[in-house]
Amino acid sequence: MVLGTSSHVGKSLLTAALCRIFAQHGHRVAPFKSQNMSLNSAATVEGLEIGRAQALQAEAAGVPASVHMNPVLIKPSGDTSAQVVVRGTIWGRVTAADYYQRRVEELLPIVCESYEKLASQYDVIILEGAGSPAEINLKQHDIVNMRMAEMADACCLLVGDIDRGGVFASLLGTLELLEPDERDRIRGFAINKFRGDTGLLEPGIRMIEARVQKPCIGVVRYLGSLMLEEEDSLGLPVSTQTQWPQDATPANSCSRPLRVAVVAFPSFSNFTDFDSLRAEPTVSLLFCRTGEVIAQADVLVLPGSKQTVGDLLWMRERGLDVAVQQYAKSGLIVGICGGMQMLGETITDPLGMERSGSVPGLGLLPIQTVMQADKVTRNAKGKMAAGILFGQPITDNRLSGYEIHIGQTIYLTEDMHFAVLSTRSESSSGLSNDGCIGADSRIVGTYLHGLFDNDSFRHQFIRAARAFHHLSAPDELHLWKELREESLNQLAREVENALDMDTIFGWVGLSYKGVAPEAGLHCSRKEGVA
């Protein structure tokens, strides 16, 4: 089990790395996080919802993502309340106090059952903790850290983040706050995100080893170039600037990067939708909160939101609604999921799923949305309904992604859909219309998350947007799946070289036989080359 001294120390990526390492050594391995708190989720092959980090870890292990890998997903809907998703479907909406004081115990048998199911199917389970195991105010009803470690009889690795500072104090403090039997379960510690000369770190490592009577299993250096998603929005680089950053290419050059502005809502969900766009060399993408940056963008994106009405009202409070409507007179806009709902005429919530009542939308697409109790969660493939995008012809109209949303959208103009989808979920399958295109094709809305991860669509999106703004065609485009595979292999290679794998394999009763060979991958291509 990978535990951390706090949130955002790198537990999720280290768990993914260990999944890849054990898989490369020929072992059937699966990730498990009993309870995750995140607005960043993914759809499994069955069309059920789990945390995005566990989907990435399953990808690293080379196995299909399953709801049993993350049986409880908590999606905050405010400072004190949250939607609880159990095995992929909505279980309830609770306050934080009610959940931790009463409801969490109801979920413990479900958590245990999911873990046992995975354990019966795989050779190795890599568990991930949440936050810190030393949250003494929550330990009584813990089902994700030490209590889960005990139920799984897991050997634990405690990870500290040196990039934040205070790593030795956080390691010592975490261990001091644990009970003796819990400390015994932690077999060693690792230091993550290190920059600089490891020789300067050695005296501190020796001193802390003597103090806690635990060995240092390794030091993992800071890996800033990996194309792998963050667990939560703590890693999201939200810009508050009012000017677009200057590129080496002159602003009036037709070869400059395409400027994509994504509005960073307070309840921004599924922000990994844009990782593949951010990785493209001909794209400059900012997560922004100012009207000035919006005005300078080539493409404006309204992304998914966990609190669609709340985020729409937040935009109005800051005057961003006016900035978007002004931009819409000549710019390119994409609304994804909640962002598409905001672009419509009205959002009505008769059941109070988010906020009771009805509010006007931005009035930029001919749609109306009514919030409902049931959540739509499914994978989808399909084709764009039109042969053009932003007024530019396209050669391949195939696309793919997944839907995770509440709300039924009524399309007031039936012949202006964005796509026709073939969907599959636990309860239904078939063809359905998705999204909406504005009358002059500059404004597009869709329910599809993960849309840009499809190489063909992303490449055509970039070409079409650049052509609309009279920019030159991109001379280099990435292949996202290969880029991710290369990143996962790089992550595994770095972690395998950094950690004492003999010891880690020994914890699960296996022999380590040295670094496993891996195949190299080419992750980009020049324009026009297959």
Which residue from 449, 273, 272, 305 is spatially nearest to 371, judged by alpha carbons? 305
Which residue from 185, 187, 189 is spatially nearest to 173, judged by alpha carbons? 189
354 & 396 share domain: yes
127 & 19 share domain: yes
Query: Is 519 part of any domain?
Result: no
Calpha distance 436→370 (Å, rounded): 16
Q: Could you read off the pLDDT of 131-184 as tens digits, one per residue?
A: 999 999 888 889 999 999 999 999 999 999 999 889 999 999 999 999 999 999
Can you give the three-state secondary structure of 177-203, one letter per residue?
CCCHHHHHHEEEEEEEEECCCHHHCHH
254 & 272 share domain: yes
Give the CATH number, domain containing residue 361: 3.40.50.880
Number of domains in the chain: 2
Query: Is 24 part of any domain?
Result: yes
Known catalytic residue at 449:
yes
356 & 253 share domain: yes
319 & 347 share domain: yes
Q: What counts of helices (H) and strands (E) characterise the chain?
A: 16, 29
Query: Is 432 part of any domain?
Result: yes
214 & 247 share domain: no
Residue pair 156/169 in contact (Cβ under 8 Å)? The answer is no
335 & 421 share domain: yes
- pLDDT values of the chain reduced to their tens digit, one per residue, 530 residues: 999 999 999 999 999 999 999 999 999 999 999 999 888 888 888 888 999 999 999 999 999 999 999 999 998 876 678 888 999 888 888 887 778 777 888 899 999 999 999 999 999 999 999 999 999 988 888 999 999 999 999 999 999 999 988 999 999 999 999 999 999 999 999 999 999 888 899 999 999 999 999 999 999 999 877 778 665 545 566 766 677 777 667 777 899 999 999 999 999 988 889 999 999 999 999 999 999 999 999 999 999 998 999 999 999 999 999 999 999 999 999 999 999 999 999 999 988 888 888 999 999 999 999 998 888 888 889 999 888 999 999 999 999 999 988 888 998 877 789 999 986 655 556 788 899 999 889 999 999 999 999 999 999 999 999 999 999 999 999 999 899 999 999 999 999 999 999 999 999 999 998 887 654 333 333 333 22
Q: What angle do CA 296, 298, 299 make, to 5 degrees?
A: 115
198 & 302 share domain: no
Query: Is 523 part of any domain?
Result: no
Query: Is 527 part of any domain?
Result: no
Q: E strand or H helix at 438, and its extent? A: none
> Which residues touch 361 (CB under 8 Å, ≥6 apart)?
312, 341, 342, 343, 344, 345, 346, 347, 369
Query: Is 512 part of any domain?
Result: no
173 & 286 share domain: no
Q: What angle do CA 142, 167, 494 make, to 5 degrees?
A: 90
**Domain stops at, among 476, 498, 519:** 476
Q: E strand or H helix at 167, and its extent? A: helix 167-176
203 & 79 share domain: yes
Query: Is 198 part of any domain?
Result: yes
Query: Is 94 part of any domain?
Result: yes
**Domain stops at, among 432, 456, 476:** 476
Domain that residue 100 falls in: 2-228+485-507
- Active-site hit among 337, 436, 459, 478: 337
Give the CATH number, domain containing residue 114: 3.40.50.300
49 & 114 share domain: yes
390 & 497 share domain: no
Helices 167-176, 202-212: axis angle to 10 degrees equals: 10
- Active-site hit among 25, 449, 459, 478: 449
Amino acid at 204: G
